[in-house]
């Protein structure tokens, strides 16, 4: 009976079930992950992240992204060679994918004639550069006598070349120090120069000038051109257009007199009257005061040295008269 019972129980054991062949790989993985601890899951995710990062670094530094082409647009005066050389220095080591475009742009904007630069990637191996150039607004004469173009921001661009269009007159009085204060002063000089240029061009006076001295913008001084190149016109700070016109009228009238060849400057800083400076040989400069623009009195007052000579002659004559009186000779000499 006992044996019979054991054989009966053995016959009731469940049979081994085979795996469901329809079960997908994703389902099997989900079952596997269900048995893994959470720490192991996080470690696996971190390992995957590291592998992705290393793969990105490897791809970014691969020859596939090494720069081979530089596309440059917008250059007229700026040197294409200098632009491309600057880009190669910044992108050559990093490759196109990892290039710091802001740094590339900042270096480009330090180049002569470059006002702004836009830099973009052209994957896989190119860089595109779009340049906005600075506009030359004035030619300055440096202390060394060089003629140099500057823009409205007082940025020195390049030396003037024979093929450039000659401006009517130059700017003098430039602060050549490399400092923020000097840059601010020079911006003020350029603004003043452009104002004067606009005013004098409109009045037709620019052709008679060679340069304007703006060392002190409150004491504007213009150097004349041509046959009058030795004459300086001192205009001060007010009404430079009107004062220059009045000074030229006085000069044209004085040129018709014997003093014309000896005029060295005309001072209009007093506004209503012109002070005409004379020089002859090694003699000291003396001033002549003349009404500015007064057509009723074309002749100036007598020069200071001539007045002194006349006074000395009169004094000598009086002295001689007194000596004769003392001697008893009343007859005038």
Q: Are 72 and 131 in contact (CB under 8 A)?
A: yes
CATH number of 64-133: 3.10.20.310
User: 154 versus 92: which is more confidently predicted?
Assistant: 154
pLDDT in tens, 264-310: 999 999 877 888 988 866 664 555 555 444 444 444 444 444 444 44
User: 197 versus 299: which is more confidently predicted?
Assistant: 197
Name the band, by pLDDT with cuts 50, 70 and 90, for residue 124: confident
Q: Please, which residues bridge with residue 126 across strands? A: 69, 122
Share of the chain above pLDDT 70, in %: 68
The confidence score (pLDDT) of residue 127 equals 94
User: 25 versus 153: which is more confidently predicted?
Assistant: 153
271: left (phi over 0), alpha (psi -120 to 50) or beta: left
Nearest-5° angle of CA 109, CA 112, CA 118? 30
Average pLDDT for 95-108? 93
Q: What is the mean pLDDT of the chain?
A: 79
pLDDT in tens, 29-71: 666 666 556 656 677 777 787 777 766 666 655 577 888 899 9
Q: Residue 23 pLDDT > 90, yes or no?
A: no
User: What is the distance between the alpha carbons of residues 36 and 44, in angstroms, rounded to a whole number?
Assistant: 11
The confidence score (pLDDT) of residue 315 equals 47
Average pLDDT for 167-190? 95
Q: Which of 25-29, 95-99, 227-231 has the lowest mean pLDDT?
A: 25-29
User: 113 versus 307: which is more confidently predicted?
Assistant: 113
Q: Residue 160 pLDDT > 70, yes or no?
A: yes
Three-class secondary structure assignment of 83-104: HHHHHHHHHCCCCCCCCCHHHH
Q: Residue 171 pLDDT > 80, yes or no?
A: yes
**What are the residues whose beta carbons fall under 8 Å from the beta carbon of 268, sequence distance 6 or more?**
233, 234, 235, 236, 243, 244, 246, 247, 274, 275, 292
User: What is the distance between the alpha carbons of residues 118 and 109, in angstroms, rounded to a whole number?
Assistant: 10
Place of tokens 């053995």: 10
Alpha carbon 271 to its chain's center: 34
User: 261 versus 57: which is more confidently predicted?
Assistant: 261
User: What is the distance between the alpha carbons of residues 177 and 183, in angstroms, rounded to a whole number?
Assistant: 8
Two structure tokens written together for 139 = 């030619």
The confidence score (pLDDT) of residue 114 equals 94
Q: Are 200 and 162 in contact (CB under 8 A)?
A: no
Q: Please, which residues bridge with residue 278 across strands? A: 263, 286
Average pLDDT for 175-183? 94
Average pLDDT for 100-122? 94
Share of the chain above pLDDT 90, in %: 50
Average pLDDT for 309-314? 44
Residue 125 CB-density burial (10 A; 0-12 exposed, 13-18 middle, 19+ buried): middle
Highest mean pLDDT among 123-127, 223-227, 287-291: 223-227
User: 216 versus 305: which is more confidently predicted?
Assistant: 216
**Would you mind telling me the total number of residues written for the chain in this entry?**
333
Strand order in the sheet with 126-133: 69-73, 126-133, 114-122
The confidence score (pLDDT) of residue 169 equals 95
The confidence score (pLDDT) of residue 278 equals 87
pTM: 0.64
CB atoms within 10 A of CB 191: 15
DSSP 8-state symbol, 227: G
């Amino acid at each position: 009976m006992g044996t019979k019972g054991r054989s009966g129980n053995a016959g009731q054991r469940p049979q081994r079930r085979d795996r469901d062949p329809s079960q997908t790989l994703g389902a099997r993985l989900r079952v596997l992950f269900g048995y893994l601890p959470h720490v192991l899951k996080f470690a696996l995710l971190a390992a995957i992240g590291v592998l992705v990062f290393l793969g990105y670094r490897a791809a970014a530094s691969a020859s596939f992204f090494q720069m081979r082409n530089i596309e440059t647009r917008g250059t007229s005066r700026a040197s294409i060679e200098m632009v491309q050389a600057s880009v190669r220095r910044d992108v050559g080591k990093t490759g196109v994918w990892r290039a710091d475009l802001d740094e590339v742009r900042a270096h480009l904007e330090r180049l002569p004639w470059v006002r702004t630069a836009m830099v973009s990637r052209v994957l896989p191996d190119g860089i595109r550069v779009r340049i906005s150039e600075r506009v030359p607004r004035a030619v300055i004469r440096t202390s060394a006598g060089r003629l140099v173009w500057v823009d409205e921001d007082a940025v020195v661009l390049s030396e003037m070349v024979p093929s450039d269009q000659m401006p009517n007159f130059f700017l003098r009085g430039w602060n050549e120090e490399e400092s923020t204060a000097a840059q601010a002063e020079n911006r003020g000089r350029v603004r003043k120069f452009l104002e004067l240029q606009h005013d004098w061009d409109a009045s037709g006076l620019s052709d008679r000038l060679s340069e304007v001295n703006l060392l002190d913008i409150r004491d504007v001084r213009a150097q004349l051109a041509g046959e009058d190149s030795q004459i300086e016109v001192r205009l001060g700070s007010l009404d430079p257009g009107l004062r220059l016109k009045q000074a030229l009228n006085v000069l044209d009238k004085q040129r018709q007199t014997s003093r014309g060849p000896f005029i060295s400057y005309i001072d209009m800083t007093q506004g209503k009257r012109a002070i005409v400076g004379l020089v002859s040989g090694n003699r000291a400069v003396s001033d002549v005061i003349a009404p500015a623009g007064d057509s009723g009195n074309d002749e100036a007052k007598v020069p200071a040295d001539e007045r002194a000579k006349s006074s000395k002659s009169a004094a000598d004559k009086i002295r001689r008269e007194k000596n004769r009186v003392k001697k008893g000779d009343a007859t005038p000499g």
